[in-house]
Structure formats: structure tokens, C-alpha cells
A and B are shown apart, each in its own frame.
Chain A
Amino acid sequence: MAGISGTAGPAPAHTGPGTGSAGTGPASSGDSAAHAGKSVLGPEEIRRALSRIGHEILERTDGARDVVLLGIPTRGVPLARRLAARLDQTEGVRVPVGSLDITLYRDDLRLRPARTLGHTEVPGSGIDGMVVVLVDDVLYSGRTVRAALDALGDLGRPRAVQLAVLVDRGHRELPIRPDYVGKNLPTSKREAVRVLLTETDGEDSVTLQVSPEARR
């Protein structure tokens, strides 16, 4: 896609909110200094944060009754699966998991080259009358979530929609708030939050680094 030369690593090194809300770049330019960044969460802390979110979901939704977890690609999807596994382990509740790609609903499609689509997979239960918990890695401007709400509207009519994020880095540009937060992380707009997950990147970590794009 944008093809930043010198990008290290196969995965589009992921900084910023989920599939990237306006204002964050896709990926740092992968130089080792930037890669190091400042560690915010390690594997153990990510695990604990997800456990806590799992418990909160159980409390707030009457034991996860009618809950559907929908991850927003890329990294929201493994997070949603982990949450579902957590709910199964702790309470033995089986919660349907799916993914919701929001690319076609973005408000910045005209501003960037065409993007490849992620996968949308709605569980067999459907979403009508259910409590949909959207799961993403980073909440930033809120534009990704706005797009996700639009996408949901075309899929059905949930009874309620909630939002779970691993990191809330602030700087909202829309009236959107998360229901479940792994970590509140005060950031400057010049910084980028980089989330790596074992399923997509081979390791679990959240780091804070200077965004190459914010410098423009």
C-alpha cells in the first residue's frame, strides 16, 4: 500500500488505533530505535487487563447473557477471541465471537490509497436483539468506532452496543466513550501507540513511541 520504504517486519507494523483512525500513521518506519519505544504493557499485564475486562463484561451484562463479541480487524479480532476464551474459563459461558471490518464505512477513504478489506464474520446467532461488545486494540479519535456503529446498523439491530478497548489513549474527535478499558494511557498526539499480539505479530506488547507521521 503506502509502501514506506525501510519498513521492517512483515505485518504492517501497527501503531495507533486499530485499523488506524485519522491522525495516526500506518506503522512506524520500523527502525530499531522506534521499535523499542517505551513499554506500556507486557504480556502479563495484557493478560490481566483482559481478565478484568472479562469480569466487568460478566458483571455489566448479567453473566454475559445475549452477548456477542465482535473484534475490529486486525488486532481487535484476536482480542475478542481471548476475551471469549476468558469468559469460558472463568464462568463457563460460551459467547459467540465474530469480526467486523469497517474499511468500507471509513470517513477517510478519499484521503488515502484504496485499502484491502478485512474479514467480516457475524456469528450464527446474528446480532438482532443481542448485546454487541465491539473489541478493538486502541481507542483514539473514535472514528473507527463511529464507522463500526454504521456497519452494525447495516447488519441488524442489537439491543445494545458496548465498546471494549485494550488501550484508551484519549484525543477523542467524536462523542464516543469506551465501556471497558484495559489501560488508560495519556498520550500526546505526536506519539503513537503500538500494539503487538502473539496471534498477529508473534509477541504481546504495548509500546509508546514517537509517531513518524505526527512529525509532518
Chain B
Amino acid sequence: MNRHLISAADLSFDDAIAILDTAEELARLAERPIPKLPTLRGRTVVNLFYEDSTRTRISFEAAAKRLSADVINFSAKGSSVAKGESLKDTALTLQAMGADAVVIRHGSSGAPHRLARWVRGSVVNAGDGTHEHPTQALLDAFTMRRRLGRLDGLRVTIVGDILHSRVARSNVWLLRTLGAQVTLVAPPTLLPVAVDGWPCTVSYDFSSVLPDSDVVMMLRVQHERMSDAYFPSVREYSRRYGLDGDRMALLPDHAIVMHPGPMNRGVEIAADVADSARSTIVEQVTNGVSVRMAVLYLLLSGSRGPDEPALASEGDLVPAGERARSAAAAEAGR
């Protein structure tokens, strides 16, 4: 596994399965009298949140604490960032404090990638702009596998604001890696221009894809990112792309309904659907802790000594071809 988790697209099949299997073992921990492990004792995890988030930050915090890591929460509000400190200077400060991992949420796509070049520890992307949110995709895949027993060949329909959704993007890439088939459903205005290049199909007719879906994932309408008029009215959006009881009835019996939260009840998902037995919304939150524990364990528990490069992404600076050559040379030398 890489030492950072920046993008779900970077995960190989084996990496992803290793995370899910580890999470499966760690999930059983919650049932124990003492749901705490000494594994990351003495390690420091910094939660660096430039955007508001409740569940993701708390989830990472709970995950780190269950593994006995020390957690430092850093939110941009009320910090030096409000005084104009740059991301790089903040990173150097964290570096100086000896952070073993930095969990970052940032409004700009690519911020975690930049950060990874400046800090020594592992960087975990907890959502960057409209780019990616890999741990959400991992916990979604974990939830699907737990509920439906498999991922290979699973038909997953993701509905809503694809354009602004890092959850959708991460899910598309991860689910492709894991062998599921993804269909995106959205108004044309809420699809990214480059969606043709994504490994999925696109539909504009929600009801027609429901009978062939094992999983329906509803996305939140992100009012805060919508400066333009992407659809005429919330009511019309809700009627065409919302999941209500009638639409849910079109699903096969085994199908599940997911939502990454927070929900706008009555907009993209009706209250009775959100509270139905098919809904995995609460499970997703529980599973999120297990998956994030798995990620932190796999990134942080391994060996990392002073002998390793000080700059996180030094490897990235070596051209890929050269890396392959030197690897081949090392292989031949054995």
C-alpha cells in the first residue's frame, strides 16, 4: 500500500481488499467489553479540517482513538489560517510537531496531494474540493459487501449531484477496481463535462434503472456549492431524482439504499425511505469508523524509520520509467 491515501483511483484491487478485510476484523472490536487497541500508541494523528464536517472528523477521531493514537484537531476557523497562514506553513508546523498522519479536508481539489510533498507522515484525504473522498468510498464498499455479500458484478446506481460530489467520484473509481458496475443518474447540468471518460454508464431516467440496481446511493444536493441554477426548483428535482416510497418499490427485494449524509429529507430522499429497513445510512456511519481504523492501521503501523526519505513524495519526483528500471535492476540482482 502507498504511504498516503489521496485518491480511491490509486488503490489497487489488493490494497482495497486488504483495507476491507482489515476493517472486517476491526469491526468486531466494537462488540468487545474494551473496544480499544494499543496498536498506534505513541503515534499522533492530526485532523486538519479546512471545511466543516461533523461525521468525517468525528469518525476519524474515534478511529484513531480506538487504536490508541493521540489526536490533535485543527480546524481552520479560529486558527492561524484565519490570520492568513498558508497550507505549506501549516504543514511545516505540523511536521515540526511530529505528526505521524495528517487527515485533511480542504475546499480545494488537490490540497492533500500538495500536502503530501511537505510532511513526513502519511496523508489521508478526507475530502478535497470536488475531487475525492476515498474513505467514504471504502466505507460504502464495505457496507455493500457486508449487506450483499459481494462486490464483483454488483450493480450500483449513484443518483444526484455528481458534479460537486467527491463521494461519487471516489465511488466510481473504487467500485470499478472492485468489479462493480456503476450507473450515474443526474440532471445533465449536474454531471461533470468529462463524465464520458469515467468507467460507468449514465442515465437520465431514474425509475428505469431501479429494477436493475442492487444498490442505490443517493447524494446530497449541495446547496452551498450551487451558485448557478442547476435545476428549476427543488420540487422538480425531488420529483425526478428523489427517492420516495413509490420509487423504492421498483427495486429488487434484496437491494439497499445508501446515503453518505448529511441528508436533506424530502429533497433527494423521502423520510420513510431513509428510515426503512433497506436503508444503510446508520450502518454507514458505524462502518466508517472500522474502515478508517483499517486505513490508519495499514498506513501507520508499518516500519518507518529515519532511513526513509524525509520528503513524503520524493518517489513521485523520480520519473515512473526510471523507477521501473531500477526496480527491474534490483530484481535482476537477486
Asked if B21 lies at the interface with its beta carbon under 8 angstroms from chain A, I say yes
Which residues of chain B in 275-334 are interfacial with respect to chain A, using CB atoms and an 8 Å cutoff? 297-304, 331, 334
Among B38, B300, B301, B334, point to the contact of A150 (Cβ < 8 A): B38
0/1 per residue, A89-108, Cβ < 8 Å to B? 00000000000010011000
Contact between chains at A117 and B25 (CB < 8 Å): yes
Asked if B34 lies at the interface with its beta carbon under 8 angstroms from chain A, I say yes
- B235 to nearest A CB, angstroms? 49
Which residues of chain A in 121-176 are interfacial with respect to chain B, using CB atoms and an 8 Å cutoff? 150, 154-156
Q: What would be 16 A-B contacts, judged by CB atoms less than 8 Å apart?
A: A104-B39, A105-B38, A109-B39, A109-B301, A110-B301, A110-B302, A110-B304, A112-B302, A112-B303, A114-B1, A117-B21, A150-B38, A154-B32, A154-B33, A154-B34, A156-B33
Asked if A116 lies at the interface with its beta carbon under 8 angstroms from chain B, I say yes
- Find chain B residues with CB under 8 A from A35 CB: none
Asked if A32 lies at the interface with its beta carbon under 8 angstroms from chain B, I say no
Q: How far is the CA of A117 from the CA of B28 in the complex (A)?
A: 12
Contact between chains at A5 and B38 (CB < 8 Å): no
0/1 per residue, B60-78, Cβ < 8 Å to A? 0000000100000000000
Closest to A111 in B: B303
- Find chain A residues with CB under 8 A from B34 CB: 154-155
A105-B39, A109-B39 known; A116-B21 Cβ under 8 A: yes
Asked if A177 lies at the interface with its beta carbon under 8 angstroms from chain B, I say no
Asked if A120 lies at the interface with its beta carbon under 8 angstroms from chain B, I say yes
Asked if A6 lies at the interface with its beta carbon under 8 angstroms from chain B, I say yes
- A174 to nearest B CB, angstroms? 16
Report the interface size for chain A: residues with CB under 8 A from the other chain. Answer: 21
Contact between chains at A155 and B298 (CB < 8 Å): no
Asked if B18 lies at the interface with its beta carbon under 8 angstroms from chain A, I say yes
Q: How far is the CA of A111 from the CA of B305 in the complex (A)?
A: 8
Contact between chains at A120 and B28 (CB < 8 Å): yes
Asked if A202 lies at the interface with its beta carbon under 8 angstroms from chain B, I say no
Which residues of chain B in 236-267 are interfacial with respect to chain A, using CB atoms and an 8 Å cutoff? none
Contact between chains at A104 and B21 (CB < 8 Å): no
Contact between chains at A101 and B25 (CB < 8 Å): yes
Contact surface of A with B, Cβ cutoff 8 Å = 5-6, 101, 104-105, 109-120, 150, 154-156
Q: How far is the CA of A119 from the CA of B27 in the complex (A)?
A: 12
- A71 to nearest B CB, angstroms? 16
Residue picked from B67, B303, B304, most chain A C-beta under 10 Å: B303
Q: How far is the CA of A112 from the CA of B303 in the complex (A)?
A: 5
Among B21, B26, B302, point to the contact of A113 (Cβ < 8 A): B302
- B71 to nearest A CB, angstroms? 18
- B112 to nearest A CB, angstroms? 20
Closest to A107 in B: B38
Contact between chains at B25 and A155 (CB < 8 Å): no
Contact between chains at B38 and A116 (CB < 8 Å): no
Q: How far is the CA of A5 from the CA of B21 in the complex (A)?
A: 25
Contact between chains at B18 and A116 (CB < 8 Å): yes
- Find chain A residues with CB under 8 A from B22 CB: 116-117
Closest to A109 in B: B301
- A184 to nearest B CB, angstroms? 32
Asked if B37 lies at the interface with its beta carbon under 8 angstroms from chain A, I say yes
Q: How far is the CA of A110 from the CA of B38 in the complex (A)?
A: 13
Residue picked from B1, B28, B33, B301, most chain A C-beta under 10 Å: B301
Q: How far is the CA of A116 from the CA of B303 in the complex (A)?
A: 14
Contact between chains at B33 and A155 (CB < 8 Å): yes
Among B32, B298, B334, point to the contact of A6 (Cβ < 8 A): B334
Closest to A157 in B: B33
- Find chain A residues with CB under 8 A from B25 CB: 101, 117-120
Q: How far is the CA of A116 from the CA of B1 in the complex (A)?
A: 12
